[in-house]
Chain A
Amino acid sequence: MRLLFTTDSHKRPRVPVPFVKTLPLIARNQLRETIRYFRHQPNPLAWMLVGIFALAAAFSLVTAGLKFNRITILLGFYVPVAVFDDHLIGVLVSLFGIRFLFQRSPRFRLQPYLHLPLRRWQLVAYFQATSVFTIHNVYPLLFLVPFWISFILPYFGPVPSLYWLLAVVLCLVISTFLNNWVRSILTNSELLFVLLACLVWLLVAADSMLETNSLNHFSTFLFSALLNGDGVMMMLVGATALFVLVLSSFSLYNSLVAATYRPVPPRRPWVHLDRLLAHGPVSSLVLLELKMMWRNRRPRHYLIMSVLFSTAYLLFLLMDENTSSGAIFGAVIGLFASGGFALNYGQLMFGWESSFFDGLLGRNCKLADLIKAKFALLHISCTALFLFSLPIFVLLRPNLVPLHVAFLFYNMGVTCVLIMLLAIRNRRRVDIQKGGSFFNYEGFSAAHWFWLLPVAVPPTILLYILQADVTTSLIVISLVGLVSLLSMNLWISFFANRLAGDRYEMAVGFRAYGR
């Protein structure tokens, strides 16, 4: 019999393997993961469209950077560098907001390697470094570098120009690591994150209300100093970048260590709520979904975001009369104030259940009940958010209360149906527990990005066409919603049939992406 194992264990590599040797393996895995992600996109046409948009946006950014003076002249300003320096930090802060919504956390990528004999510090360092190479840093540079070539380099000399460019790049790096840090905070303590978010909201609100424009003043001060060749300022920017790097690396490392052991907390299950609500299959399914939302990290974050969007975000929109007038803002306010949860959480419905979808299908669980439960949840959320945000409307903009009411009907009748239509197309597994997964976009497809168009465009068009007669447009929006709401039994039957037809593909998709 041939021996399968040899005893020459001395030939095995030493453990832990030197990081230089494992680094190319991890890099290769990352590359493979990226290539496979694009290969497995179910809709290549949608991704081609995204590619064309991306190229067009890149071209526009480069052109805008090279010819920025023409844009500033149009706006009535004649010194592009002054305009730019004044707003640069503000723009970077806004970009941070976008980054926070879309950039993937390195923690998410680290997890498959944690059980291997690799030093965690090295893993953290590697993934922190690679997190800099993201589209969120490439796109700003597509504008900033051409701007620098056209308006900084020829006029300010090599050293100040270099300082300026280096500082801009370091600001992007700071933004990247700050994002990683904020996400680590969220992983470790949701309460701390919410407090921090509230503090930032308050600071920005105070800055805006008091018209101090601190961000603009700071931006002008910083970049003017750099263009004057101030080496100390350059060192301060570098030191800040280093500080944020160390801070986020520590935080990331600690969150990995914390994730390895979590004691079971003492708890009282929802016995009373179970007794109150669990009567019949539909209420059992609603209760199941509520428990899922409360007990699992990712759906819980969607819940938090929905409340933030419907209150804090709304507060800002309603404070400023200039921004909160007009068809687009009317539609945005109306849709998110009461439909924020449906839009956020609803789009991944069925995907949330991917880990136990087979169990639901295999048991005596009627598909119509499943659809009824989902609609019930969405309708409850619309009503709850409506009531939650109503005092804000009454206090800040009472004239928008009719819009709020009209969109309650629209959201319950139309938005919920459109979201269900999107949700029933879900074929990707979602890990509801994955740590550090705030906005990790697992479970999303191209359709999710485009779906806001059919949801938001019709009421926007209606508000725009009938802007002279707002009352009529709001009545039409309400009626459309109400008619759809009254036809809910037909919708339930329609979706139950769709679900019955699609159940195999959904089940296969939910199984495949998890293994």
Chain B
Amino acid sequence: MDVSILSLNKRYGSKVALHLEALEIASGQTFGLVGSNGAGKTTFLRLVLDLLRPTAGSVSIDGRNVAESIDWKARTSSYLDESFLIEFLTADEYLTFVGAAYGYSRRETLEALKPYQAFYPDETFGETRLYIREMSVGNAKKVGLIAAMFTAPQLLVLDEPFANLDPRSQIRLKSLLRTLNETMGTTTIVSSHDLLHVTDVCKRIAILEKGVIVRDMNTSEGTLIDLQRYFSAEAV
């Protein structure tokens, strides 16, 4: 699924949170978004998912405006923050609920979860007992990320997926994201502060500053150093 942004603008009062004249994310591309706190990354992701009303402009997925159609939702999955979790459910219940929204039966859900068991080793899918609110922050996040991935989406939108995860889980997550992209052709949009992981996972990276994309580059061997230089210069 491809994503097209046209004259997208989001203001909060007089403050411009995001202003993107044009942005195209091609089908199957892995697109990383980096930037300082408050740069507009989450606002951008919320606009892509139609969780915010844009002040002007539009986001289209496969040529259809996200605000005017819901067809895209059946093939899109996301995890932005804990508001995507239902914390009074167990992992099984939550994932079954998400599966049902995408037309999966309980059995199909459990089957689809098998490749993700290693990413969440603390409980066995099909026998989970802990409510999400009783899990550690990292485990709860893993459940949210699995919920976003197991439905084999054509478009995957993740905000800070590596934060709060232990190193082993970060590595597993990168592997899962790569597999999804390579086997399903999933278009992936990832926002992250972790430059190393984002350059590992994404083939294209944009730097967002004060609501505007200031750099847009294809990932190469030198990208990580470029990004580090950019943000070091900013810090000084």
Shortest Cβ gap from A9 to chain B (Å): 27
How many chain A residues sit at the interface, stated as a range, is 20 to 34
Stretch in A105-113, A353-361, A438-446 with 4+ CB within 8 Å of B: A353-361
Nearest Cβ in chain A — how far from B3, in angstroms?
15
Min Cβ gap A460→B in Å is 38
Q: Which residues in B have their C-beta under 8 angstroms from that of A356?
A: 83-87
Residue-wise interface mask of A (487-515) relative to B, using a CB-CB cutoff of 8 A (1 in contact, 0 not): 00000000000000000100110010000
Residue total for B at the interface (Cβ-Cβ under 8 A): 37
A36 on interface, CB distance cutoff 8 Å: no
Contact at A291–B83, with CB atoms within 8 Å?
A: no
Alpha-carbon gap, A508 to B80, bound state (A): 15
A266 to B90, CA, bound (A): 13
- Contact A280:B100 (CB < 8 A) given known A288-B86, A358-B80, A508-B52: yes
Q: Is the interface of B mostly helix, strand, loop or mixed?
A: mixed
Interfacial chain B residues near A274, Cβ < 8 Å: 93, 96, 106
Give the distance in Å from the alpha carbon of A269 to the alpha carbon of B125 in the complex: 13
Q: How far is A432 from B86 in the complex, measured between Cα atoms in Å?
A: 12
- Once A295-B131, A356-B84 are accepted as A-B contacts, the answer to whether A284 and B51 lie under 8 Å apart by CB is no
Contact across chains for A504 and B129 when beta carbons are under 8 A apart: no
Q: Which of A284, A291, A504 contacts B100 (CB 8 A)?
A: A284
Q: A260-288 toward B: CB 8 Å interface, digit per residue (1/0)?
A: 00001011011000110010110010001
Assess A511 versus B73: contact at CB under 8 Å? Given A281-B101, A291-B88, A358-B51: no
Select A284's contact among B88, B92, B101, beta carbons within 8 Å.
Answer: B101
Cβ-defined contact, B53 with A504, below 8 A: yes
Q: Contact check, A363 vs B129: say whether CB atoms are below 8 A apart.
A: no
Cβ of A308 within 8 Å of any chain B Cβ, yes or no, is no
Q: Main SS of the interface on chain A?
A: helix
Q: Does B74 contact A (CB under 8 A)?
A: yes
Min CB distance B47 to A, Å, is: 11
- Pick the contact of A264: B76, B83, B106, B134 (CB < 8 A): B134
B78–A362 touching, CB < 8 Å: yes
* A362 partner, pick from B51, B74, B86, beta carbons under 8 A: B51
| A155-211 contacts to B (CB < 8 Å) | none
Contact A292 B88, CB 8 Å, known A364-B101, A507-B51: yes
Whether the Cβ atoms of B88 and A358 lie closer than 8 Å is no
Asked whether B129 lies within 8 Å of A267 as measured between CB atoms, the reply is: yes
Question: Which residue in B46, B73, B83 is a CB contact (below 8 Å) of A364?
Answer: B73
Residue among A264, A275, A278, A363 making CB contact with B73, cutoff 8 Å = A363
A263 to chain B, nearest CB (A): 10
**29 sample A-B contacts, Cβ–Cβ < 8 Å, listed by A number:** A267-B129, A269-B90, A274-B96, A278-B106, A281-B100, A284-B97, A284-B100, A288-B86, A288-B89, A291-B89, A292-B88, A295-B131, A355-B83, A356-B84, A356-B85, A356-B86, A356-B87, A358-B80, A359-B83, A359-B85, A361-B50, A362-B49, A363-B101, A364-B73, A364-B76, A365-B73, A433-B88, A504-B51, A507-B52
